[in-house]
Amino acid sequence: MNPEINKRIAQLRAEIERHNHAYYVLDAPVIPDAEYDKLFRELQSLEAQHPELSTPDSPTRRVGGKALDGFAPVRHAVAMLSIRTETDISDTGAIVFDARVRKELGLGENDAPIEYACELKFDGLAINLRYERGVLVQAATRGDGETGEDVTQNVRTIHYIPLHLKGCAAEVLEVRGEVYMSRRDFERYNERQRAQGLPTLVNPRNGAAGSIRQLDPALAARRPLSFFAYGLGEARGWASPATHNAVLDALGKMGVPVSDERAVVRGAEGLVNFHQHIAAKRDQLPFDIDGVVYKVNSLALQAELGFVSREPRWAVAHKYPAEEQLTVVRDIDIQVGRTGKLTPVAKLEPVFVGGTTVSNATLHNEDETRRKDVRIGDTVIVRRAGDVIPEVVGVVLDPSIAQGERKEDGRFDLFERLHGKCPVCGSAIVREEGEADWRCTGGLFCPAQRMQALLHFASRRAMDIEGLGDKLAEQLVEQQIVRTPADLYKLSMTAVASLERMGEKSALNLLDAIERSKRTTLARFIYALGIRNVGEATAKDLAQHFGSLDNLLAADAESLQQVHDVGPVVAQSLVAFLAEAHNREVIAQLRASGVHWSEHEQRRMVELPFSGKTFVLTGTLDSMTRDEAKEKLEALGAKVSGSVSKKTGYVVAGAEAGSKLDRAHELGVAVLDEDGLMQLLNQVK
């Protein structure tokens, strides 16, 4: 065997795992994705060429293996016992536990308070990780406590779990902890699933458990899972510290994720304070918990206390209010969001869940409502966790009621329920091909969308009205001073100066900015209208192609698709927007207010040096920001795109250029460094 190859494989494994830890655990990546991919592909290639060098702790094992027929049973060397749950969510739960422990230890009132390790009770799936000589060799579920299931292939796909422990050569060290799904990852995963019309996960706990018990590891690898350690199983050849908290500290030094939300406290008062402290920040945690756990910190005292009925006397879980409850759907409303999205909302019999009373819960969209088959009169499971909007996660049917006897018949049809009209403004609603959501087309007119429409209209790349931010826009809309963007050009000094935190000077500055915004470009004006799917680049293409607003207003779907990069979806968005009389009226009012641009500027675009050329910017430039480079290129007629294709003229690559540079090389697209870009710009001055 070539020692250089062996050395390179070892280097790659170490570097890749270092980057995995930085990316997944520390949330602080140090190299671009493209560079990581290169390292990973090199390791895969070397291992394929030299299979004898493949090891169980190689990062290539994280992509999943062959699908299984079933899970093999695993007999736990040390039983995975559950701990007692204290359901009294008041301070009394902690006080009673401390009193019980003191009694078992024979301590009197004058004896010193007991030291406890306090941690979170994660809401996921318990896992036992078996490391031999520091290498992960097996992962198993709790099962019945004595025997679990071998889920090693699936657990290896979780980047938070180290395949090799740092500085640990113990013959055996079993790490026990919880596989969980963070709220952010859960919401993102479900959002992607809903967008594709695919089944969603009921809650993060079920998402974690279902992912680990997938027979196909490739499917498990697509689920975003995390892990926290909370204890040990079998340990041979390892000198254990004297306390539970020190054990967790030691695991953290080995590279095993351990939650920072833990504390060592003394006595019942310390337990109560910890319970209250976590309760106050429970909603802000990035993951679900259903309580906290108290453990006697001294391992010697744990051994002295022992077990009763297969539960440790030295630990207890102290619960919080449940985050899922049953209630009844009284009605289904349709709400219009700030972007025009129509969302079915279940009106509920009020229920206390997740620490608050809930009477409304989202059903997300038409497809999700149909898939869950939610109907008025149904008993449903409602979930509220953290600051996530309460949602209906499923229906609980009474087995005595036949399907045809439910109070509301038939599948949910949002279009039919609304007769095809927005419930707020009466504009037509549309659902684009491939989209999960119905939307209102009355963007400039719809009261539900006023705030968003106003902020977008005033944004820097649209009409660029400096000083018109969230707080001011909110006041203008709530006080009904502004109903459409056209009303901005009718604002008086008196009306603006009377608003909170304004005054005459601020009001004068705002009115000056509004007046300056009247002179703009056709491209900026089109973009400012906030038409769905019409971004900055598309607005510029439309302005260049049609040359005047009147030509654009007269265009049909077929002629719109003659514009560069405008396909059926964008064309339909434009047609639907311009078909609404309300929107055309607002456009007319804007023009009547003095908003204008020079028509010949658009025609002149075709004569500019970079007309018809597409540039892509990637990486960091020294002499200017990417936005500044984009403005310079666009001023010379270029189109600046976010993706590389065969039609791309140049890719400008700065420092730490990513996958776009790789794509340019693959397609043979010309690449310029920063000096090359500056030379090109100087040539056409």
User: Tokens 């207003």, residue?
Assistant: 553
Task: Give pLDDT tens digits for 477-505.
Answer: 999 999 999 999 999 999 999 998 888 89
In a domain, 211, yes or no: yes
- 212 and 154 in contact (C-beta within 8 Å)? yes
| 496 lies in the same domain as 572 | yes
Q: CA-CA distance, 680 to 253, in Å (whole number)?
A: 52
Q: Is the domain of 513 the same as that of 462?
A: yes
Residue-wise DSSP of 96-134: HHHHHHHHHTT--TTSPPPEEEEEEEESSEEEEEEEETT
Token pair for 548: 């005047």
Mean pLDDT of 27-34: 68
d(CA 115, CA 108): 15
The residue among 452, 478, 455, 450 whose CA lies nearest residue 465 is 455
Could you give the percent of the chain with pLDDT greater than 70? 94
Which one of 11, 35, 54 terminates a domain?
54
Ordered DSSP codes for 478-538? HTTS-SSGGGGGG--HHHHHTSTT-HHHHHHHHHHHHHHTTB--HHHHHHHTT-TT--HHH
335 and 403 inside one domain = yes
pLDDT for 323 equals 80
Query: Are 539 and 523 a contacting pair, CB within 8 Å?
Result: yes
78, part of any domain = no
DSSP helix, strand, coil percent of the chain (3-state; round to 5) = 40, 20, 40
Closest C-alpha among 205, 202, 124 to residue 391? 202
Closest CA to 421 of 638, 242, 582: 582
- We report the CATH number of the domain holding residue 45 as 1.10.287.610
**318 with 293: CB under 8 angstroms?**
yes
CATH number of residue 630's parent domain = 3.40.50.10190
Integer Cα distance of 539 and 530 in angstroms: 10
- Of 524, 685, 671, 541, the C-alpha closest to 608 is 685
Band the pLDDT of 604: cuts 50, 70, 90: very low
Residue with tokens 């299931």: 149
- Encode pLDDT of 82-124 as tens digits: 888 887 888 999 999 999 999 999 999 899 999 999 999 998 8
Identify whether residues 31 and 18 lie together within a single domain. Answer: yes
Q: What are the tens digits of pLDDT across the range 353-380?
A: 877 889 999 998 998 899 889 999 999 9
Overall number of domains in the chain: 5
Same structural domain for residues 360 and 508?
no
Q: Is the pLDDT of residue 585 over 60?
A: yes
Residues 679 and 585 in one domain: no
Query: Do 334 and 207 lie in a common domain?
Result: no
Q: Is residue 452 part of a domain?
A: yes
For 382, the token pair is 């409602």
Give the max Cα distance, the chain: 93
The tens digit of pLDDT for each residue in 138-184 reads 999 998 889 999 999 889 989 889 999 999 999 999 999 999 999 88
Q: How confident is the model at residue 68 (pLDDT cuts 50, 70, 90)?
A: low
Q: Bigger pLDDT: 295 or 203?
A: 295
| Phi, psi (deg, nearest 5) at residue 353 | -145, 135
**Is 298 within a domain?**
yes
For the record, the structure tokens of 395 come out as 């229906």
315 and 334, same domain (yes or no): no
pLDDT (average), residues 239-264: 96
Helix axes 568-579, 581-592, angle to 10 degrees: 80
Is the sign of the CA dihedral 277, 283, 285, 291 positive or negative? positive
**CATH code for the domain of 203:** 3.30.470.30
What pLDDT shows up at residue 641?
Answer: 84
DSSP symbols for 127-191: EEEEEETTEEEEEEE-TTSSEEEB-HHHHHT-TTS-SB-TT---SEEEEEEEEE--HHHHHHHHH
Distance CA 125, CA 204 (A): 10
- Kindly state the helix (H) or strand (E) to which residue 42 belongs, with its residue range: helix 33-49
Average pLDDT, the chain: 88
Is 525 found in the same domain as 586?
A: yes
Please report, for the domain that includes residue 392, its CATH number.
Answer: 2.40.50.140
Structural domain boundaries, residue 479: 441-601
Q: Burial of 206 by CB count in 10 Å (0-12 exposed, 13-18 middle, 19+ buried)?
A: middle
Does the structure show a pLDDT above 70 at 550? Answer: yes
- Taking only the tens place, the pLDDT of each residue in 207-228 is 888 888 887 777 778 888 999 9
At 81 the pLDDT is 86
Token representation of residue 186: 């859960």
pLDDT band with cut points at 50, 70 and 90 for residue 660: confident
Catalytic positions are 121
Q: Of 431, 444, 426, nearest to 488 (Cα)? A: 444
pTM higher than the cut 0.85:
no
Q: Nearest 5°: CA angle at 314, between 310 and 319?
A: 85
Which pLDDT value is given to residue 387? 61
User: pLDDT band at residue 25, thresholds of 50, 70 and 90?
Assistant: low
What average pLDDT score do residues 343-348 get? 95
79 in any annotated domain = no
CB-based burial label for 24 (10 Å; 0-12, 13-18, 19+): middle
Does 62 map to a domain? no
Are 408 and 457 in a shared domain?
no
Q: How far is CA 265 from CA 114, 270, 275, 486, in A?
A: 8, 5, 11, 61
> What ranges in 123-182 are assigned the alpha helix state H?
152-156
Where residue 600 falls among pLDDT bands split at 50, 70, 90? low
Answer yes or no: is 66 within a domain. Answer: no
333 and 447 share a domain? no
- Per the domain annotation, does 68 fall within a domain? no
Question: Does residue 197 surpass a pLDDT of 70?
Answer: yes
Q: Which one is predicted more confidently, 125 or 38?
A: 125
Residue 653 contacts residue 661 (beta carbons within 8 Å): yes
550 and 413 inside one domain: no
Identity of the highest mean pLDDT range in 176-190, 260-274, 322-336: 260-274
Checking if the pLDDT of 298 tops 90, the result is yes
Of the residues 291, 319, 347, the one at which a domain ends: 319
Contact criterion met (CB below 8 Å) for 667 and 649: no
Which two tokens mark 203? 């809650």
Which amino acid is residue 12, in one-letter code?
L
User: What radius of gyration, in Å, describes the C-alpha atoms of the chain?
Assistant: 31
Which of 601, 635, 662 is where one domain is finished?
A: 601
